[in-house]
Structure 1
Amino acid sequence: MDTKMNFDMYVPTHTLFGAGMLNHLHSQKMPGKKALLVISNGKSTKINGYLKRTEEQLQKAGVEFTIFDQIEANPLKSTVMAGGNAARTNGCDFIVALGGGSVMDASKAIAVMATNDGDYWDYIPSGSGKGKIITNVPLPIIAITTTAGTGSETDPGCVITNETTHEKTGFVHPALFPVLAIVDPELMLSVPPKFSAYQGFDALFHSIEAYVSNGANLMSDMYALTAIENVSLNLPKTIKNGNDIEARTKVAFGNTLSGSVMCVGRCNSEHSLEHAMSAYHQELPHGAGLIMISKAYFTHLIKQHVCDDRFIKMAKVMGMKNATEPMDFIAALTKLQEDCGVADLKMSDYGITPDEFKKFAINAKDTMGFLFSCDRIPLSNEDCINIYAASYK
């Protein structure tokens, strides 16, 4: 039996989902009196008015706030430490994360360092981390997502890069579930097509990985298949017309479900392989890296016949109703990438060279080896190198 009949599910985040939901922030119970309002180091939340709207909502709720606007894509440990210090210095007792996955992930790590001493990597349980136990409860978090990509608004994990050691890895703690998540597709209308695609595929791969992992169960299957269907059938529509609010809503729904998938199921080593790439190449968007290696990665699994029926099922919910072979999934995935304009992404465009593949494989296993334990078959270093090589352009 390839589906576990038992599962352990805990997703305590209060979620407000739907167009216009940001307008209801002020009427929600606030977890504190002064917020560290965390945004990216870019301009989108300011230019598009999302920051101003959030500020107005907090003011209506009687909440003071101070802005921390230093979060980069693939957030760095040094930025997390600066954010933790900013929360302490300004007397903040909770965090509002306004942005995409990087902002939400960084906010969770900042929440840890706002209340705990030492270095963030002291608490990382893998790689060069010291695995120390958090002694003080992290600050509570309100997550307002402006993208549909990571599902971080409803899960207890975050991924941060240690720029000194080139380790990009996750940290999970029950206290990092946001107390409130606002998923408002209106905030996603301004995301450019390229980044909509990167983010959408990240959400998609969370659920695809969970569906073919060894942790698949009745509940994770339900979430994963629904997420795969909603993202696959609607992401191309958002690329074609960014103002299609119905398509944006359905992709956002798939993304939120993919966050829940990670609470009741698990991703697998595809994510580890990508994190190794962007750990060394900071400018590589996570979703783009996943797209680059996805066909070779899943083709490897299919050739090993790890779960033929599951690949056929995914091909069907992705729109290939007459799928009969596992490789039909690769055909469906290829078509989706073509429809979204991301089929020709190149590692070389981000400075990646083939002589790095061995380094990536070792880094992936040393830093995020725990995801390899979620694979249905073991992947050797040689397997990983071959996947990188087959993906290289």
Structure 2
Amino acid sequence: MIPRRKVLDLLQVISSASCKCPAHAHPGTSYGMSDILDHRSHASSVPDAKPSKEYAFEMACSTIRYGPGVTREIGMDLVNMKAKNVCVMTDSNIAKLPPLKTALDSLTREGVKFEVYDKVRVEPTEASLQEATKFAKAGSYDAFVAVGGGSVMDTCKAANLYYSDPEAEFLDYVNQPIGKGKPVTCTLKPFIAVPTTSGTGSETTGVSIFDYEPLKAKTGIANRAIRPTLGVVDPLHTLSMPERVCSYSGFDVLCHALESYTAIPFTERSPCPSNPILRPAYQGQNPISDVWARYALQIMRKYFERAVYRPDDVEARSSMHLASTMAGVGFGNAGVHLCHGMSYPISGNVRSFQPKGYNDDHPIIPHGLSVVMSSPAVFSFTGPACPERHLEAAELLGKDVSNAKKADAGLILADTVRGYMNIMKVENGLSALGYTKDDIPNLVRGTLPQHRITKLAPREQSEEDLSNLFEKSLTVF
């Protein structure tokens, strides 16, 4: 039985505003039920009229199964899905580790045929996605399974999409303005995702991110149709994560939660879609996404450091694995904003950086590292737009804000995040990743096309603003 107090707390979250600042509502009002009814009554006063701004949000998420050892069940799941021939995708590192063996043993035990593609590129590119798709199209599969981190799951999403729509051109589904951003109308194959890291939350979302090498920036495919049918979240897999992988992926969780919590509310996003199929996956923060963001931040406060520095701490690593999934539910519907928008050219323009714990044959800046690099500068910048949310986030992460001033909210959250970066021994800014001030114009150019997420930031940003944010991120400490 759920305690009555928790039920009342949840109802209060859903029915009332969490923030009353100008960036998140009209002054003195909320985006609660009365605001939504105002949208509806205004629209209904004119026949067939559509409000200029969004008036609804949707919550879409993969079915999630969580528990130690649940990977043993996926063979039975595939039999239940009536799958007879399965495409299993992973990367060359996971291919040698217990998570893949456990998954394949389960398929073999249940008599499910499979073929393994183990050439997924960590930090995928448009070329590597097309290679994976080519492999899939050469077979005849009635289901897909991904065993790995975000790169594997995102690659498998794309392969399933283009396998299911073989006539599509690659850029048809890629986000605008780089691609055409077409809605997905074909039926995809059943897809089981088994995450082995605690960061991306990709097992819950309809988003596939990759480096678009012609522009040296990340972009992606964002549509609810590509989300996994089932996410199998097995905390035992996290015990094989190296320290740096655990740290960087944890910062991805942190930024997912912080960005979705401080994004514009769904009622401030425009234009309102003319058809529900056009409603984007990233809609702006909403009362339900707030619940998951708060949960993830509370878990980070208690378990992040333990998970990084005690690899055999099953409780800590299990909790971080669940926090990754829960933050994924939140940001997968609310969206992220500037930290992620700026991270894409940071990753895409990597020269020679090769982090410890990543056995890759090419330079990479892991996604969580590229995201957290700009976070102190970003939250200092966005703080004035919604100070209450910045202060609450800092408090959830362990900061005493009882005597804090709203004017200092952004700086307080920035310092709180910087403290976590220091504890986790994160590299000291973009300069440590090989960037100089001369690179900033190119990094800004790579951020500008990321409209899908930068427009969700609670404060608009000019090219000069972006330049200043990158400059402030050259060093962090």
State the TM-score, normalizing by the size of structure 1: 0.93
Post-superposition CA distance 1:171-223 (Å, at most 9, x none): 12222121111111110111111111110110110110011111222111111
Task: Provide closer, same or farther for how the CA distance between residues 99 and 345 of structure 1 changes in structure 2, counting only shifts above 3 A.
Answer: farther
Q: Give, in whole Å, the separation in 1 of the partners of 2:442 and 2:64.
A: 40
Comparing 6-15 with 257-266, greater Cα deviation is found at 6-15
Task: Decide which of 353, 356, 365 is 2:436's aligned counterpart.
Answer: 353
Task: Provide closer, same or farther for how the CA distance between residues 31 and 298 of structure 1 changes in structure 2, counting only shifts above 3 A.
Answer: farther
Are 1:288 and 1:345, in contact at CA under 8 Å, matched by a contact in 2?
Answer: no
Comparing 18-27 with 191-200, greater Cα deviation is found at 18-27
Task: Decide which of 416, 421, 424 is 1:340's aligned counterpart.
Answer: 424
**Is 1:329 aligned to 2:413, yes or no?**
yes
Q: Give, in whole Å, the separation in 1 of the partners of 2:431 and 2:243.
A: 21
Q: CA deviation at 1:31?
A: 5.7
Map of 1:275 onto structure 2: 344
**Is 1:310 aligned to 2:389, yes or no?**
yes
Task: Provide closer, same or farther for how the CA distance between residues 236 and 350 of structure 1 changes in structure 2, counting only shifts above 3 A.
Answer: same
Post-superposition CA distance 1:15-58 (Å, at most 9, x none): 111222212223323362211111013x2x23332211110111
Q: Give, in whole Å, the separation in 1 of the partners of 2:182 and 2:334.
A: 25
Are 1:31 and 1:140, in contact at CA under 8 Å, matched by a contact in 2?
Answer: no
Post-superposition CA distance 1:209-250 (Å, at most 9, x none): 011111222111111111111123211001120111111121
Task: Provide closer, same or farther for how the CA distance between residues 176 and 125 of structure 1 changes in structure 2, counting only shifts above 3 A.
Answer: same
**Is 1:296 aligned to 2:345, yes or no?**
no
Q: Give, in whole Å, the separation in 2 of the partners of 1:333 and 1:12.
A: 28
Q: CA deviation at 1:118?
A: 4.4
Are 1:140 and 1:176, in contact at CA under 8 Å, matched by a contact in 2?
Answer: no
Map of 1:82 onto structure 2: 131
Aligned to 1:256, the other structure's residue is in SS state helix
Map of 2:460 onto structure 1: 378
Larger-gyration structure (1/2):
2
Are 1:4 and 1:218, in contact at CA under 8 Å, matched by a contact in 2?
Answer: no
Q: Which amino acid aligns with 1:188?
A: T
Aligned to 1:129, the other structure's residue is in SS state coil
Are 1:149 and 1:201, in contact at CA under 8 Å, matched by a contact in 2?
Answer: yes
Aligned to 2:203, the other structure's residue is in SS state helix
Q: CA deviation at 1:131?
A: 3.5
Map of 1:38 onto structure 2: 89
Map of 2:398 onto structure 1: 319
Are 1:38 and 1:97, in contact at CA under 8 Å, matched by a contact in 2?
Answer: yes
Q: Give, in whole Å, the separation in 2 of the partners of 1:329 and 1:107.
A: 35
Q: Give, in whole Å, the separation in 1 of the partners of 2:238 and 2:225.
A: 27
Q: Give, in whole Å, the separation in 2 of the partners of 1:153 and 1:267.
A: 17
Q: Which amino acid aligns with 1:363?
A: G
Task: Provide closer, same or farther for how the CA distance between residues 330 and 31 of structure 1 changes in structure 2, counting only shifts above 3 A.
Answer: farther
**Is 1:388 aligned to 2:461, yes or no?**
no
Q: Give, in whole Å, the separation in 1 of the partners of 2:464 and 2:309.
A: 39
Q: CA deviation at 1:380?
A: 0.7
Comparing 9-18 with 234-243, greater Cα deviation is found at 9-18
Structure 1 gaps, min length 5:
none
Q: CA deviation at 1:61?
A: 2.7
Q: CA deviation at 1:290?
A: 1.5
Task: Provide closer, same or farther for how the CA distance between residues 226 and 57 of structure 1 changes in structure 2, counting only shifts above 3 A.
Answer: same
Aligned to 1:114, the other structure's residue is in SS state helix
Map of 1:26 onto structure 2: 75
Q: Give, in whole Å, the separation in 1 of the partners of 2:429 and 2:342.
A: 16
Alignment of 1:138-157 (within 5 A): 138-157=188-207
Q: CA deviation at 1:100?
A: 0.4
Q: CA deviation at 1:353?
A: 2.7
Aligned to 1:67, the other structure's residue is in SS state strand
Q: Which amino acid aligns with 2:257?
A: S
Task: Provide closer, same or farther for how the CA distance between residues 248 and 380 of structure 1 changes in structure 2, counting only shifts above 3 A.
Answer: same
Are 1:109 and 1:120, in contact at CA under 8 Å, matched by a contact in 2?
Answer: no
Runs of 4+ aligned structure 1 residues displaced above 4 Å come to 132-135
Percent identical residues: 25
**Is 1:165 aligned to 2:215, yes or no?**
yes
**Is 1:49 aligned to 2:128, yes or no?**
no
Q: Give, in whole Å, the separation in 1 of the partners of 2:202 and 2:103.
A: 19
Aligned to 1:40, the other structure's residue is in SS state coil
Q: Which amino acid aligns with 2:152?
A: V
Map of 2:297 onto structure 1: 228
Structure 2 gaps, min length 5:
1-19, 25-29, 37-55, 266-284, 351-362
Q: CA deviation at 1:355?
A: 1.7
Are 1:204 and 1:228, in contact at CA under 8 Å, matched by a contact in 2?
Answer: yes
Q: Which amino acid aligns with 1:94?
A: A
Are 1:204 and 1:232, in contact at CA under 8 Å, matched by a contact in 2?
Answer: no
Q: Give, in whole Å, the separation in 1 of the partners of 2:64 and 2:430.
A: 37
Post-superposition CA distance 1:235-279 (Å, at most 9, x none): 100112011111112111211111111233121122111012112
Task: Provide closer, same or farther for how the CA distance between residues 315 and 131 of structure 1 changes in structure 2, counting only shifts above 3 A.
Answer: closer
Are 1:314 and 1:329, in contact at CA under 8 Å, matched by a contact in 2?
Answer: yes
Aligned to 2:451, the other structure's residue is in SS state helix
Are 1:219 and 1:264, in contact at CA under 8 Å, matched by a contact in 2?
Answer: no
Map of 1:284 onto structure 2: 365
Q: Give, in whole Å, the separation in 2 of the partners of 1:234 and 1:245.
A: 11
Comparing 7-16 with 178-187, greater Cα deviation is found at 7-16
Q: How many residues align?
A: 387
Are 2:339 and 2:372, in contact at CA under 8 Å, matched by a contact in 1?
Answer: no
State the TM-score, normalizing by the size of structure 2: 0.77
Map of 1:178 onto structure 2: 228
Task: Provide closer, same or farther for how the CA distance between residues 31 and 145 of structure 1 changes in structure 2, counting only shifts above 3 A.
Answer: farther
Map of 2:46 onto structure 1: none
Aligned to 2:118, the other structure's residue is in SS state strand
Map of 1:242 onto structure 2: 311
